[in-house]
């Protein structure tokens, strides 16, 4: 499924008897056309359709990138599968914490075995981890089964790189490695394939300029750059024509949207324009940096009929001393005031967060400040992370790295309290009727369907596949920890 109308046709119209065009995206359309002919031959030779698997690690940004990569693969002629033992497997990697890298290596080891069985198999790597030269060096040495490596900045070049690998004699037996250090380029109008027909993420900006001292994202995703509002709105209009009722606007720091554009809209103004799109029912966005969340945005959320009353507002730490070391540019008091303001204006807002435990120098007092914020804010849910040292970030060379047993004990205490509070909050909503967007038939019990409320809570209730993609009123009957059981009203 493509989100932009007419892309397939534009690809068909490309003349492959000429040399490849210089401009994008036509250049990529050209390589897609060449690969379509190649995949047709392969399919005939094998006597079955070619299958491709795009395995995603990490955040919503990566999930959206994977939809774009799957769209290109589908256009080339592959069937998309969830099984990694396919004709082509592409790992879209994350490197935000060390364990993300370890996971990728586990999968690559497995991919080696698949290739022994099917020597034609193509194994590819892309995403944030590929922006780290040490990781590439290790892969070149230890995983010769990898065919193509590319990074976060040249993802739009995927078709060209693949054509180089499979059509160019010189590259056929080599590992193709193409990683750019940075880019200012944003290429629009490439094919993509949404995971759900009724909802979609949409990039409004790329990169991050914040340089929180623990975080590797600004180094691997590059400087912040926003898409033009008209491109964003056109893409959403197309999605809506194609059945989408909910969009999630994506950026590392959506509140600073538009800063690099001339005469652009603020993020709040962009939301107002998105709201005007007929047929679109729900709008979400992430992530909001607390330092940039404006009063204008709060008012727009309050007055909107479509923006969900849900906000992901990463705290990271409740200690002002540590927040300074983290380069977060707000204090505990600023954060609490912001939450107070949000709740005063939008009383039913669901607030979620990210918290890091064990940042260098974290004392028991610092940790108590984090627990204090958790008590005061009463998050609907929270992602909790053990601090992971990322080479090249300022925090990696800070003294006083915290011993593992201390961190683990704090982490468990935090997690237990977050779960208790989440369960209390969930119980308090029992009996209420919520608008639920139905996503799928329940995987454990096929008599139920699963959907999400505006506040992003999961609800299971009796229903069938015909409800998928619809927004229906559901009464919350029973709370089961991280989901509700409900009934249609």
Contacts of 201 (CB under 8 A, 6+ apart): 60, 61, 63, 64, 67, 247, 248, 250
Least distance in Å: CB of 248 to ligand SF4?
Answer: 16
209, 385, 423, 442: which one contacts ligand 5AD (CB under 6 A)? 385
Name the DSSP letter for residue 157.
G
Q: How far is CA 447 from CA 456, 477, 482, in A?
A: 22, 17, 20
Between vectors from CA 157 to CA 229 and to CA 174, what angle results, nearest 5°? 160
Q: Does residue 349 interact with ligand 5AD by CB under 6 A?
A: no
Q: How far is the CB of 195 from ligand 5AD (least distance, A)?
A: 20
In the complex with ligand SF4, which residue's Cβ is closer, 212 or 265?
Answer: 212
**If we measure between CA atoms, which residue out of 248, 269, 272 comes closest to residue 257?**
269
Q: Of residues 35, 208, 308, 342, which one binds ligand SF4 by CB under 6 A?
A: 208
User: Which residues in 87-126 contact ligand SF4 (CB under 6 A)?
Assistant: none
Determine if 211 is a binding residue for ligand SF4 (CB under 6 A). yes
DSSP state of 226: E
258-297 residues in contact with ligand SF4 (CB under 6 A) are 289
Partner whose footprint covers residue 253, from ligand SF4, ligand 5AD, none (CB < 5 to 8 Å by kind): ligand SF4
158 binds, among ligand 5AD, ligand SF4, none (CB under 5 to 8 A by kind): none
Stretch that binds ligand SF4, among 125-133, 167-175, 209-217, 365-373 (CB under 6 A): 209-217
Short-list 290, 352, 192, 32, CA closest to 24: 32
- Among 36, 50, 42, smallest CA distance to 8 is for 36
Candidate residues 214, 219, 379, 484; the one interacting with ligand 5AD per rule CB under 6 A:
214
Q: Please tell me the distance from the alpha carbon of residue 71 to that of residue 49, in angstroms, as a whole number.
A: 16
Find the binding residues for ligand 5AD in span 310-329 (CB under 6 A): 314, 316
Tell me which of ligand 5AD, ligand SF4, none is bound by residue 484, counting a contact when its beta carbon lies within the kind-specific cut-off of 5 to 8 angstroms: none
Pick 148 or 220: Cβ nearer ligand SF4: 220
Which whole-number Å values give the CA distances from 336 to 298, 315, 317, 369, 373, in the listed order?
Answer: 15, 10, 12, 12, 7
Instruction: Please tell me whether residue 21 binds ligand SF4 under the rule CB under 6 A.
Output: no
Number of residues located near ligand SF4, criterion CB under 6 A: 10
**CB 87 → ligand SF4: shortest distance, Å?**
35
Rounded to whole angstroms, the Cα distance separating 353 from 439 reads: 23
Q: Which is nearer to ligand 5AD, 76 or 96 (CB)?
A: 96
Stretches 39-47, 50-58, 208-216, 368-376: which one binds ligand SF4 (CB under 6 A)?
A: 208-216
Helices assigned H by DSSP within 216-311: 217-221, 229-241, 267-275, 295-303
Applying CB under 6 A, does 217 fall inside the site for ligand SF4? yes
Say which DSSP state 484 is in. Answer: E
66 binds ligand SF4 (CB under 6 A): no
Closest listed residue to residue 257, CA positions, set 233, 282, 284, 224 = 224
Total binding residues toward ligand 5AD, as defined by CB under 6 A: 12
DSSP string computed for 318-372: S-HHHHHHTT----HHHHHHHHHHHHHHSTT-EEEEEEEE--TT--HHHHHHHHH
Contact region with ligand SF4 (CB under 6 A), list: 29-37, 71-79, 213-221, 416-424: 213-221
Which residues contribute to the site for ligand 5AD (CB under 6 A)?
Answer: 96-97, 214-215, 314, 316, 354, 356, 385, 387-388, 390
**Which parts of this chain interact with ligand SF4 (CB under 6 A)?**
208, 210-212, 215, 217-218, 252-253, 289
């Amino acid at each position: 499924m493509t989100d932009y109308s007419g892309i397939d046709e534009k690809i068909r119209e490309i003349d492959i008897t000429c040399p490849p065009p210089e401009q994008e995206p036509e250049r990529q359309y050209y390589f897609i056309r060449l690969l379509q002919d190649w995949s047709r031959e392969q399919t005939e030779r094998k006597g079955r359709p070619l299958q491709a698997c795009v395995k995603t690690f990490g955040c919503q940004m990566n999930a959206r990138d994977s939809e774009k990569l799957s769209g290109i693969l589908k256009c080339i002629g592959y069937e998309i599968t969830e099984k990694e033992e396919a004709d082509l497997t592409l790992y879209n990697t994350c490197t935000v914490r060390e364990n993300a890298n370890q996971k990728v290596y586990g999968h690559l080891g497995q991919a080696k075995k698949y290739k022994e069985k099917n020597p034609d198999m193509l194994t590819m790597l892309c995403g944030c981890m590929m922006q780290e030269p040490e990781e590439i060096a290790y892969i070149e040495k230890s995983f010769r089964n990898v065919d193509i490596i590319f990074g976060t900045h040249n993802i739009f070049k995927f078709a060209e790189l693949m054509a180089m690998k499979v059509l160019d004699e010189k590259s056929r037996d080599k590992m193709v490695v193409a990683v750019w250090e940075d880019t200012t380029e944003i290429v629009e109008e490439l094919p993509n394939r949404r995971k759900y027909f009724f909802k979609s993420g949409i990039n409004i900006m790329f990169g991050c300029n914040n340089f929180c001292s623990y975080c590797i994202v600004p180094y691997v995703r590059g400087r912040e750059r926003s898409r033009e509002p008209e491109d964003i709105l056109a893409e959403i209009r197309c999605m809506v024509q194609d059945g989408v009722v909910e969009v999630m606007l994506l950026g590392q720091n959506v509140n600073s949207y538009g800063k690099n554009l001339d005469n652009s809209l603020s993020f709040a103004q962009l939301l107002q324009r998105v709201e005007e799109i007929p047929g679109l029912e729900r709008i979400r966005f992430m992530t909001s940096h607390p330092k940039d969340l404006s009063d204008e945005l709060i008012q727009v959320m309050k007055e909107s009929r479509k923006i969900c009353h849900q906000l992901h507002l990463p705290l990271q730490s409740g200690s002002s001393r540590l927040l300074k070391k983290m380069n977060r540019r707000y204090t505990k008091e600023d954060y609490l005031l912001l939450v107070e303001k949000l709740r005063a204006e939008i009383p039913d807002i669901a607030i979620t967060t990210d918290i890091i435990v064990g940042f260098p120098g974290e004392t028991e007092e610092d940790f108590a400040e984090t627990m204090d914020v958790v008590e005061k804010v009463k998050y609907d849910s929270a992602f909790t992370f053990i601090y992971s040292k990322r080479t090249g970030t300022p925090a990696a060379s800070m003294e006083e790295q915290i011993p593992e047993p201390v961190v683990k004990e704090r982490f468990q205490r935090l997690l237990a309290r977050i779960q208790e509070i989440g369960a209390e909050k969930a119980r308090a909503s029992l009996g209420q009727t919520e608008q639920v967007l139905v996503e799928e038939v329940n995987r454990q019990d096929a008599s139920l369907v699963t959907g999400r409320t505006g506040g992003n809570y999961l609800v299971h209730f009796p229903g069938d596949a015909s409800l998928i993609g619809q927004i229906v009123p559901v009464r919350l009957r029973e709370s089961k920890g991280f989901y509700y059981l409900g009934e249609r009203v």
